[in-house]
Chains A and B, each alone.
Chain A
Amino acid sequence: MASITFPNPGLPAAAHATHATTERGWVRWTLIAVAVTFLGVFLFLPLAVVFSSALEKGFAVYLAALREPDAMAAIKLTLIAAGIAVPLNMVFGVAAAWAIGKFEFTGKSLLVTLIDLPFSVSPVVSGLVYVLIFGLQGLLGPWLAAHDIKVIFAVPGIVLATIFVTFPFVARELIPLVEAQGTEEEEAAITLGASGFQTFWRVTLPNIKWGLLYGVILCNARAMGEFGAVSVVSGHIRGRTNTMPLHIEILYNEYQFAPAFAVASLLALLALATLLAKTVVEWKARQQAAELEPRSGEAL
């Protein structure tokens, strides 16, 4: 960064340069006030209302709402769905990043676009596509019914819908990262006699671990909170096919506001934990990038 130096020593150079590249005090403070008010109304208020409504009727009601069997069943199902969807999408993300980030092949950019596709599909449509395949009137419906296999209005449908909506998270986090890291380190490892698995485990994984963790955190937050897609395939059977967001909807529609917000507060806490983890991981990733900097400089 070269800065302009002023020849006249009597001129307050720093003050002058600052004045040229920033705004007057009142403009600055007005803009800050606008930004803070906007974020306050749209981000702080919703969070505040979740926790204040959850505890409105006291802590006993709050705990009772969480201990109630239907709520427990919903929490369990949410954990099951995320517990299946997140690891599967993680394995997929790593495989996709390895293929796309380390090799040059035709059709690569098309593949990247297709992986991102689920993000641009409405959650409701994401659920619908599985109903059209596995539902009673769906393509495989009659066959599934004949073999007494339930996918829609049952747990497998919920897992499928969750996988669909969280599909790109890990892959899109890892692909640019793996691409940026190049292939030299892995090639060196292979040349020195490491197996493919050793190379991945010892060389690639340490380089991408923070990105991987970040992708998994985002994937998990969405998996546990998905509403639209799961709503279409679940059938809303209490205690059996309700996830936490669906349980919240039912309670809210029955005017049981305090219990609805009590369950919602768990998901809000998860969201806050996600944001905290994201901040920490970003910080760690920046640290790692700073450590790697001199090395990549040598390579150039």
Chain B
Amino acid sequence: MGLQLKQKSILPGFGLALGFTILYLSLLVLIPLSATFLKASSLSWEQFWHIAASRRAVASYELSYGASAIAATINLFFGLVVAWVLIRYDFPGKRLFDSLVDLPFALPTAVAGIALTTIYAPNGWIGHALAPLGIASAYSRLGVVIALTFTGLPFVVRTVQPVLEDLDKEMEEAAASLGANRWQTITKILLPAVMPAAATGFSMAFARAVGEYGSVVFISGNMPLKTEITPLLIITKLEQYDYAGATAIAVVMLISSFVLLLAINLLQAWSGGRLKRAHGGELPEIVEAGAPS
């Protein structure tokens, strides 16, 4: 490992702090994670494929990734609206709503799970209104989407909010003074500016939803091939002492989350670059120079 100082520093404690960081990280995260790959490597390729591509496993991937994509899309749309409303408008209770956006981060998933199930069950507050319409919200795939929408709610709002806050109003004024109507200003100026942040938020919400367990198990009904998410399949296999099966599916999940993590990092770099350009860009200066003084 090439972990060495690039610049000399007079500050003490580098070796100690870095040593402890790497030791703690290795013992608690890196070694345990590699143990999973080690365990999986005891399977032959055919055995691994047989488990990871079994009908039940594939059905669970379809549900987990499909429902996560739908939930993240719902959050993308409503997240943009919520972020916009919280930054640009004033209304009673705005600060309260703003603080509550983080609730899904703070509320334990099991609590969210039983609360959502109670609301959407056939005799629940919303469930009993949907039941006559023939919509089963709890114990169905829709229930999985509802739970995952709750889990991923804060991501898009929280990634888009600071970008909207930092945007210079002068850009919008410039667009308006050049003859753009409000809709054109929004679609041509504002949306492109928040796009990278929104995409980051979308992929974070998606990544979080794929691995989610607690809020989903209560509301989904957990029927194999129908409403069984991938994390639940791992638990089922563990409860049957099928360690090899659980490991094989965990490896599939781990690899997909590493790919997602990479994608999120790239998106964040893109979004950071965009923001810098928006700040250092020349448009606001042109507006200033062009303003009659």
Chain B residues with CB under 8 A of A245: 108-111, 214
The answer to whether A267 touches B111, judged by C-beta atoms less than 8 angstroms apart, is yes
User: A212 on the interface (CB 8 Å rule)?
Assistant: no
The answer to whether A271 touches B103, judged by C-beta atoms less than 8 angstroms apart, is yes
Chain A residues with CB under 8 A of B243: 131-132, 135, 137
Chain A residues with CB under 8 A of B173: 3-4, 17, 20-21
For residue B153, which residue of chain A has the nearest CB?
Answer: A42
Docked CA distance A164–B261 (Å): 17
Picked from A28, A39, A128, the residue with its CB within 8 Å of the CB of B234 is A128
Picked from A23, A50, A104, A121, the residue with its CB within 8 Å of the CB of B211 is A121
Chain B 1-17 interface 0/1 with A at a Cβ cutoff of 8 Å (1 = within): 11111110111111011
The answer to whether B213 touches A105, judged by C-beta atoms less than 8 angstroms apart, is no
Number of interface residues of A (CB under 8 A): 106
Chain A residues with CB under 8 A of B149: 42
Chain B 259-293 interface 0/1 with A at a Cβ cutoff of 8 Å (1 = within): 01100110000000000000000000001100111
The answer to whether A103 touches B9, judged by C-beta atoms less than 8 angstroms apart, is yes
The answer to whether A228 touches B109, judged by C-beta atoms less than 8 angstroms apart, is yes
User: A14 on the interface (CB 8 Å rule)?
Assistant: no
Chain B residues with CB under 8 A of A191: 10
**Interchain nearest-CB distance for A255 vs B (Å):** 12
Contacting B at CB under 8 A, from A197-229, are 199-200, 218, 221, 224-228
Known: A53-B118, A228-B213. A121 touches B254 (CB 8 A): yes
Docked CA distance A63–B276 (Å): 55
Docked CA distance A94–B6 (Å): 21
The answer to whether A190 touches B10, judged by C-beta atoms less than 8 angstroms apart, is yes
Contacting B at CB under 8 A, from A120-159, are 120-125, 128-133, 135, 137-139
The answer to whether A95 touches B21, judged by C-beta atoms less than 8 angstroms apart, is yes
A-B pair count, CB < 8 Å, reads 322
The answer to whether A268 touches B3, judged by C-beta atoms less than 8 angstroms apart, is no
User: B67 on the interface (CB 8 Å rule)?
Assistant: no
The answer to whether B176 touches A21, judged by C-beta atoms less than 8 angstroms apart, is yes
Chain B residues with CB under 8 A of A133: 31-32, 35
User: B142 on the interface (CB 8 Å rule)?
Assistant: no
Chain B residues with CB under 8 A of A65: none
Docked CA distance A21–B231 (Å): 46
The answer to whether A125 touches B234, judged by C-beta atoms less than 8 angstroms apart, is yes
Chain B residues with CB under 8 A of A228: 109, 212-214, 231
The answer to whether A128 touches B250, judged by C-beta atoms less than 8 angstroms apart, is yes
Q: Which of B48-56, B82-90, B192-200 contacts A (4 or more CB under 8 A)?
A: B82-90
For residue B154, which residue of chain A has the nearest CB?
Answer: A43
Known: A38-B81, A137-B243. A120 touches B257 (CB 8 A): yes
User: B169 on the interface (CB 8 Å rule)?
Assistant: yes
User: B202 on the interface (CB 8 Å rule)?
Assistant: no
Docked CA distance A130–B238 (Å): 12
Docked CA distance A26–B214 (Å): 40
User: B253 on the interface (CB 8 Å rule)?
Assistant: yes
For residue B171, which residue of chain A has the nearest CB?
Answer: A21
Chain A 253-273 interface 0/1 with B at a Cβ cutoff of 8 Å (1 = within): 000010011001001101110
Docked CA distance A187–B102 (Å): 38
**Interchain nearest-CB distance for A228 vs B (Å):** 4
The answer to whether B29 touches A123, judged by C-beta atoms less than 8 angstroms apart, is no
Contacting A at CB under 8 A, from B37-73, are 38-39
User: B170 on the interface (CB 8 Å rule)?
Assistant: yes
Known: A28-B89, A49-B119, A218-B105. A128 touches B25 (CB 8 A): no
The answer to whether B32 touches A248, judged by C-beta atoms less than 8 angstroms apart, is no
The answer to whether A106 touches B3, judged by C-beta atoms less than 8 angstroms apart, is yes
**Interchain nearest-CB distance for A4 vs B (Å):** 5
Chain A residues with CB under 8 A of B258: 120
The answer to whether A275 touches B97, judged by C-beta atoms less than 8 angstroms apart, is no
Picked from B85, B150, B230, the residue with its CB within 8 Å of the CB of A31 is B85
Chain A residues with CB under 8 A of B185: 21
The answer to whether B150 touches A46, judged by C-beta atoms less than 8 angstroms apart, is yes
Docked CA distance A264–B124 (Å): 18
User: B246 on the interface (CB 8 Å rule)?
Assistant: yes
The answer to whether A249 touches B110, judged by C-beta atoms less than 8 angstroms apart, is yes
The answer to whether A190 touches B11, judged by C-beta atoms less than 8 angstroms apart, is yes
Give the interface of A toward B (CB within 8 A): 1-5, 7, 17, 20-24, 28, 31-32, 34-36, 38-39, 41-47, 49-50, 53, 92, 95-96, 98-100, 102-107, 111, 113-118, 120-125, 128-133, 135, 137-139, 160, 163-164, 167, 183, 186-187, 190-191, 196, 199-200, 218, 221, 224-228, 231-232, 244-246, 248-249, 252, 257, 260-261, 264, 267-268, 270-272, 274-276, 278-279
Give the interface of B toward A (CB within 8 A): 1-7, 9-14, 16-18, 20-22, 24-25, 28-33, 35-36, 38-39, 78, 81-82, 84-86, 88-89, 91, 93, 97, 99-116, 118-119, 124-126, 149-150, 153, 169-170, 172-173, 176-177, 182, 185, 207, 210-214, 218, 230-232, 234-235, 238, 241, 243, 246-247, 250, 253-254, 257-258, 260-261, 264-265, 287-288, 291-293
